[in-house]
Amino acid sequence: MPRERLSMRKIHEVLRLKWECGLSNRAVAHSCSISHSTVREYLRRAEEVGLSWPLPKSLGEDDLFRLLFPKRPRSSSRVIPLPDWNQVHVELRRKSVTLRLLWFEYREAHPDGYEYSQFCALYRQWAKCLNPSMRMRHKAGEKLFVDYAGQTVPVVNPATGEIRQAQIFVATLGASNYTYAEAQWSQDLPNWIGGHVRAFSFFGGVPEILIPDNLKAGVKNPCRYEPDINPTYHDLAQHYGTVVLPARVRKPKDKAKVEVGVQVVERWILARLRNRKFFSLVDLNRAIRNLLDDLNLRTMEHLGKSRSELFEALDQPALRPLPGLPYEFAIWKKARVHIDYHIEFDKHYYSVPYTLTRKEVFVRATERTVEVFYKNQRVASHPRSRDRGRFSTIPDHMSPAHRKYSEWSPDRFMRWAEKIGPNTAQLVEAVLASRRHPQQAYRSCLGILHLGKRYTDERLEAACRRALPSGIRSYKGIKNILDTKLDQLQPEEPTTAALTTHANIRGQSYYS
């Protein structure tokens, strides 16, 4: 028997047992195998429609059920207001804004609107129509995605006709999709850093996070958990108060925003320049900048607003202010302090405190300065010099034993030696030239010249005359000559006559 037919039979039986037999509600429930609350509900409905026992003979079971359980008429006039999903999507990019907060504001404006669960479900269904980059909710001022476009632009050298391919640097803000692009000659470190500096200037502020691809200029050693950031790139991030979080290797969704940004730049800028010839990088960047403004002012179909509008509403107020001075490009490298407490950079030698001898330090060099860091502390700073093989020495860096020689110089030693004699001057010049650093020869030169006070200048000049042909270039060698009085012996002159009369010497006439 159908369940509905069985229910109608029980309703009739409940009314009979209650009104005809006078049983209690619990007794009726036990007899009909239903709950006493159901009995009470049936009786209440019967009284509301004015039924009594016995029931009218014309009232069949179906009529009884319809009388007790009438169908409610559906109201077709109620229209639930639909939220502006574009505005909801944009608002979600603001800091601390959530779907629950937006639903609460929606219900304040429309008290008979959707409940929270339906509100969220309808938004997610709407968001599926967006492309992946727009679907991700990036907070205002939070992320800047940076990369190079795969497409290049040819630039012709007007003098030689040589064609060189220019690389396109692209930076896209996460919340507004506001985009910056420029042409560069290569993807090396100076261009990579320079592109960031100019992008920050274009945006007028700094985001919280930089998300590059694993480009060598930005990431030395890609790693999913602890990527090794290039020291210069890390230095740039510290200068601007931001942080670098590279995209994971082989995870394109991590950089979907910049991938779409690159695609947009290629379609709306590079494609429009395909039939133009450029003869300098300046001309190419000028053309890119004009089309870039047009790109950012173009209305995005899914959001109904332009990148510029979203940038002014979202990212621009949330960006951190630019520092007082732009970042100055700096090269970082490791160096080991030599035994003469100097480090080498670009073939020039810069002093550090003598206590760091043989220690490993980091060198930071800009166009104007060279700084040395040990355990993240700056220990030396010098003006950068382009003189190769020369020294930049700060007296305070010298050990106490060496400071008394700080006023000495090669010219001073040469002037002293020339007063003694030409052979002494020639020997001192040879000693200075025999050392990698002239300072390393100062002690030897000083000891040799002091021998003149002990043995007289005449004997020192004679000792130097004997030492030069023998290749002696040390203090001990000159002192041994003086101690053994070899300087007082006449040098042996070779005789050519004895050679020409030897039996085994053919002589000059043999070949004539």
Segment 117-125 mean pLDDT: 84
- Give the DSSP letter of residue 306: B
403: phi then psi, degrees, rounded to nearest 5 = -65, -30
The residue that leads in pLDDT, 216 or 306, is 306
**Upper half-sphere CA count for residue 98 (Cβ side, 13 Å):** 5
**Average pLDDT for the chain:** 81
Q: Does residue 54 have a cis peptide bond before it, meaning omega lies within 30 degrees of 0?
A: yes
With cut-offs at 50, 70 and 90, classify the pLDDT of residue 440.
Answer: low
- Least reliable range by pLDDT among 71-85, 142-156, 195-209, 282-296: 71-85
User: What's the pLDDT score for residue 2?
Assistant: 44
User: Could you report the per-residue pLDDT of 216-245, keeping only the tens digit for each?
Assistant: 665 654 444 345 678 888 889 999 999 988
The most confident of 278-292, 335-349, 388-402, by mean pLDDT? 278-292
307 class by beta-carbon count within 10 Å (0-12 exposed, 13-18 middle, 19+ buried) = buried
User: What's the pLDDT score for residue 133?
Assistant: 47
- Least reliable range by pLDDT among 146-150, 160-164, 366-370, 433-437: 433-437
pLDDT at 300 over 90: no
Pair 204, 316: CB distance under 8 Å? yes
With cut-offs at 50, 70 and 90, classify the pLDDT of residue 48.
Answer: confident
pLDDT at 192 over 50: yes
pLDDT at 114 over 70: yes
pLDDT at 113 over 90: no
Give the residues across from 40 on adjacent strands: none
pLDDT at 450 over 50: yes
Three-class SS state of 504? coil
- Least reliable range by pLDDT among 17-26, 364-373, 454-463: 17-26
- pLDDT > 90 fraction of the chain, expressed in percent and rounded: 31
Pair 302, 135: CB distance under 8 Å? no
40 class by beta-carbon count within 10 Å (0-12 exposed, 13-18 middle, 19+ buried) = middle
Task: Tell the residue number behind the tokens 């006493």, with chain if given.
Answer: 36
With cut-offs at 50, 70 and 90, classify the pLDDT of residue 500.
Answer: very low
CA 227 from centre of chain? 10
CA atoms of 276 and 299, how far apart (whole Å): 26
With cut-offs at 50, 70 and 90, classify the pLDDT of residue 492.
Answer: low
pLDDT at 444 over 70: yes
Contacts of 258 (CB under 8 A, 6+ apart): 145, 146, 147, 170, 171, 172, 211, 213
pLDDT at 195 over 80: yes
- The CATH topology of domain 143-318 is Nucleotidyltransferase; domain 5 (3.30.420)
CA atoms of 229 and 120, how far apart (whole Å): 39
Q: How many CB atoms lie within 10 A of CB 440?
A: 14
Residue type, 341: Y
The residue that leads in pLDDT, 3 or 233, is 233
Segment 125-132 mean pLDDT: 70
Segment 319-339 mean pLDDT: 90
User: What's the pLDDT score for residue 423?
Assistant: 92
Instruction: Give the H or E element holding residue 449.
Output: helix 442-455
Instruction: Compute CA distances 50 → 64, 196, 234, 288, whole Å.
Output: 12, 84, 85, 85
Going by C-alpha positions, the residue among 65, 59, 53 that lies closest to residue 9 is: 65
pTM (two decimals): 0.53
CA atoms of 264 and 269, how far apart (whole Å): 8
Give the residues across from 377 on adjacent strands: 374
Pair 244, 210: CB distance under 8 Å? yes
Instruction: Give the H or E element holding residue 478.
Output: helix 475-483
